Amino acid sequence: MSQYGAGNTGSTTGDNTWRSGGGMDPAFDPWLHPELFRGVLTRRFFAFLIDLLVLSVPVIFAVIFIAVFGVITLGLGWALFWLVSPASIVWALVYYGSSLGGQHSATLGMRVMDLEMRTWYGAPSYFLLGATHAVVFWISISMLTPLVLLVGLFNGRKRLLHDIVLGTVVVNTSVRTQVVQGARTW
């Protein structure tokens, strides 16, 4: 018997994803499956550092290339430095969108740390959600200071503010095989 009561699924498809109580699928319930959220915040921190490294390496190589190209062209190539900021933003959006919206629903850092991002109803992430997740994260950090990350300490699912706004959940995939996986939306 789940917390929603026996036989009270409210589902028309029989997959028990939607509940009449408006709650989340019990697969993401921190009371029924606390192992899914154990160590998530610490793992997210290290995954973030790995992703920063992945994002910065191509930008650093581009800056070095432009610097050398500027020397070779006697300073004319340095005019390309204005492209570094917009190109790094596009690179970050493509990276987060394609990795979070990809097959694993996780960035490279998240895969190394055994994390996966899902929607609140259990479906895998998609490109637009992944890119939006990155944008909302950086806006919330910029406008509300990094102290906004403390939100994750005060909820059972260890969700940060941008996770709550976008309706996503980050779970520990090292134990995810024991829980029924959500259906693909495509």
* pLDDT tens figures, 111-131: 999 999 999 888 899 999 999
Q: Give backbone dihedrals phi and psi of 118, rounded to 5 degrees, phi first.
A: -125, 160
Q: Is the pLDDT of residue 107 over 50?
A: yes
- Per-residue confidence band for 26, with pLDDT thresholds at 50, 70 and 90: low
Neighbouring CB atoms inside 10 A of 174's CB total 15
pLDDT of amino acid 130: 96
Convert the pLDDT of each residue in 62-84 to its tens digit.
999 999 999 999 999 999 999 99
CB within 8 Å of 67: residues ≥ 6 apart: 78
Report the alpha-carbon distance of residue 172 to residue 37 in Å, rounded: 6
